[in-house]
Amino acid sequence: MSTPGDNGSGETARGDVLLEMKGLRLEGRVDEAWTEIVHGVDLTLHRGEVLGLIGESGAGKSTIGLAALGYARDGCRITGGQIFFDGIDLAAAPESVRRRLRGSRIAYVAQSAAAAFNPAHRLIDQCTEAPVRHGLMSYREAADAAQDLYGRLHLPEPRTIGFRYPHQVSGGQLQRAMVAMAMAAKPDLIIFDEPTTALDVTTQIEVMAAIKEIVEQFDTAAIYVTHDLAVVAQMADRIMVMRDGNLVEEGLTRALLDHPDEEYTRALIAVRQLRKEAEAPIAGQTPILQVEHVTAAYGDVPVLHDISFEVPRKRTVAIVGESGSGKSTAARVITGLLPPVSGRICYDGTELPANYRKRSRDQLRRIQMINQMPDTALNPKHHVRDVIGRPLSFYLGQQGTEKEERIRELLALIELEPDQYIDRLTTELSGGQKQRICIARALAADPDLIICDEVTSALDQLVGEGILRLLIRLQDEFGLSYMFITHDLATVRAIADEVVVMKDGEIVESGAKNEIFQPPHHEYTELLLSSVPEMDPDWLDRLLAKRGDEFRDRGI
């Protein structure tokens, strides 16, 4: 049993070894061929201990988490090593043995609760199913236990919420219901697979707190899989850092964070430390973009209410908010995809036509946008040369050798070797590389303003940081202005000169970066700022103590 502020020092006080993986190997199938994706990993977990598995995409952490259940997804298979759960080798055991352990002694919490619950059955029926079918409890006992768990997890109306269907409860509530479902049979071990990744930052706190509490109350061992080191620092006693199917480093949480041995671990810790010096707007110049009293709606549904802000020349304005705040809609209004109900957009002092179809080619050229998902922003049938070349020929009339040379220049600017990449199909690139191509495409038009709509949200943290650095460098070199839309405050800290905070279609607060980040704040800004997990393992406990009962009763 650990107490707040005591992460790790009580190692020998932990129970005996519950789970031990030795030389675990897994293969995944890509296009008919099997390749190894986990290369001989060792893992030890004691009773009551929480182990964090952290890594970027492709690290194999989810696959290892599932292997702890003796399970491999379709297209994966366990090819070597041993998985000892309480003495039973899951890798060698027959399926019937594994099946009996799942749901009763080892449980799983998935990333998306909405997908993991069957839409045709009530919550309570799905939560009681495992213990009842494994013969551990009667239905009545299981239902009572489930309702008790709902209460412990601070769900509203714990006695009756179970009678609802999955689509009738909110995301954060559903995630906690899934934790209750995993806890139902009082398992020895729970695998948490990125349980808060899909949630808003404010909801994330509640779910994290609920998980931490319940795991302590029942002294359950847990493996917490995530890509976010700050999150896992709050939850785990020990951390294992994974990369490309290999273990990079492991250690007790506090020790690892304070004294990392490996370069990679250091990079992961540092990922949120990137900071740019905020600069004030250049005196006497008209802002490159002015949004004046814009109100916008999708059909009858109002989305933006009288918002106004400016983007000064050669500066970055970060628009920050959670989902539903209207920040992406603002981008659509500015680019002319969604004509506003009222208000106007001025570019360099001149009003722009509300609908993009009515804008001149030059007006369109000067404002470029980069989207969140590089996979869908690039045509899979096009080569890199075509993607970057088109704006050159379309806007600047470049042809032949002039165009070819410029494409190479741009590739070099985005740090991709021209010879290697110019003939590639866009599908052959990684996420980070695709996003760089999108940046090159935007640059090719020689714009003044680039709107970045959550450009790093879909990327791994280290890769995303590379993109941010690139963008900062390009701004210095070419005097670009950025409107940077994000939900992530660490990104705002990294890149912004000025900040605009949005909530429910309105601007809640705006100003220079340093002002926004210092108190006094608007209540919502305060909430956002405090909800961003920090690398300090005690952060969550402190926050919960501070927020106290006010937070408990919210039951969102």
Partner 1 sequence: MAQIAKMVAQRMALGLFTLFVISLIIFLAVEFLPGDFAQAVLGQSATPQNVAAFRHELGLDQPAYIRYFTWLGDILHGDLGRSFASQRPIDTLIAGRVYNTLFLAAYAAIIAVPTALTFGILAALYRNSVFDRLVNIAALTAVSSPEFLAAYILIFIFAVHLGWFPPIARITEHTSFMDRLEILFLPAVTLTLVTMAHMMRMTRAAIINLMASPYIEMARLKGLRRGRIILRHALPNALAPIINVVAINLAYLIVGVVVVEVVFAYPGLGQLLVDSVSKRDMPVVQIACLIFAVTYILLNLLADIGSILSNPRLRHPK
Partner 2 sequence: MKPIQTLRKTRKVFRTAPPTAWFGMTVILIVLIAGLFAPIVAPYGETEIVGAPGLTIGGHFLFGTDQIGRDILSRVIFGARNTVGIAFITTILAFSLGLVTGLLAAVLGRWADQLLSRIVDILMAIPSLIFALLILTMTGTSIVNMVLVIAVLESTRVYRLTRAVGMNVGVLDFVEVAKLRGEGLWWIIRHEMLPNIATPLAAEFGLRFCFVFLFISALSFLGLGIQPPTADWGSMVRENATLISFGLPTPLVPAAAIALLTVSVNFVVDWFLYQTSGLKD
Residues that bind partner 1 (CB under 8 A): 66, 69, 71, 73-74, 99-104, 107-108, 110, 112, 115-121, 129-130, 133-134, 165, 167-168, 181
Identify which of residues 201 and 442 has a Cβ nearer to partner 2 in the complex.
Answer: 442
Closest C-alpha among 546, 537, 550, 540 to residue 210: 540
What does 221 bind: partner 1, partner 2, none (CB cut-off 5 to 8 Å by kind)? Answer: none
Encoding tokens for residue 344? 């106007």
Q: What is the dihedral angle through the alpha carbons of 148, 154, 157, 161, rounded to the nearest 10 degrees?
A: -70
Q: Residue 553: count other Cβ atoms within 10 Å of its Cβ.
A: 9
Give 134 or 383: the residue with its C-beta nearer to partner 2: 383
To partner 1, the closest distance from the beta carbon of 80 in angstroms equals 22
168 binds, among partner 1, partner 2, none (CB under 5 to 8 A by kind): partner 1
Phi, psi of 475, deg, nearest 5: -65, -45
At residue 550, the 3 state secondary structure works out as helix
373 interacts with, out of partner 1, partner 2, none, CB within 5 to 8 A per kind: partner 2
> In angstroms, what CA-CA distances link 238 with 253, 302, 315, 468?
5, 47, 42, 30
The one of partner 2, partner 1, none whose footprint includes residue 305, by CB under 5 to 8 A per kind, is: none
Binding at 376: pick from partner 1, partner 2, none (beta carbon under 5-8 Å per type) = partner 2
Compute the least distance from the CB of residue 298 to partner 1, in Å.
20
Nearest residue (CB) to partner 1, 179 versus 333: 179
Q: In the structure encoding, which two tokens stand for residue 142, read together? A: 């299981």
Q: Which is nearer to partner 2, 453 or 509 (CB)?
A: 453
Contact residues for partner 2, defined by CB under 8 A: 31, 335-337, 356, 359, 361, 364, 369, 371, 373, 376-382, 390-391, 394-395, 441, 445
List the single partner that 102 binds among partner 1, partner 2, none, CB under 5 to 8 Å by kind.
Answer: partner 1
CA nearest neighbour of 91 among 38, 142, 127: 38
Least separation in angstroms between CB 37 and partner 2: 18
536 Rama class: left (phi>0) / alpha (psi -120 to 50) / beta: beta
- Is the distance from CB of 127 to CB of 146 less than 8 angstroms? yes
**Under a CB-based contact definition with an 8 Å cutoff, are residues 225 and 61 in contact?**
yes
What's the min distance (Å) between Cβ of 534 and partner 1?
A: 32
* 240 vs 378, beta carbon nearer partner 2: 378
**Residue 297 C-beta: closest distance to partner 1, Å:** 23
Tokens found for residue 165: 């269907």
Q: 253 — phi, psi (to 5°)?
A: -50, -60
Smallest CA-to-CA distance from 454 within 335, 319, 356, 333 is with: 319
Instruction: Give the nearest distance from C-beta 381 to partner 2 in angstroms.
Output: 4
Task: Quickly list H helices, 110-240.
Answer: 113-116, 123-133, 139-152, 171-183, 201-217, 229-235
Of 314 and 359, CB closest to partner 2: 359
Nearer to partner 2, 369 or 494 (CB): 369
- From the list partner 2, partner 1, none, which binds 369 (C-beta under 5 to 8 Å, kind-based)? partner 2
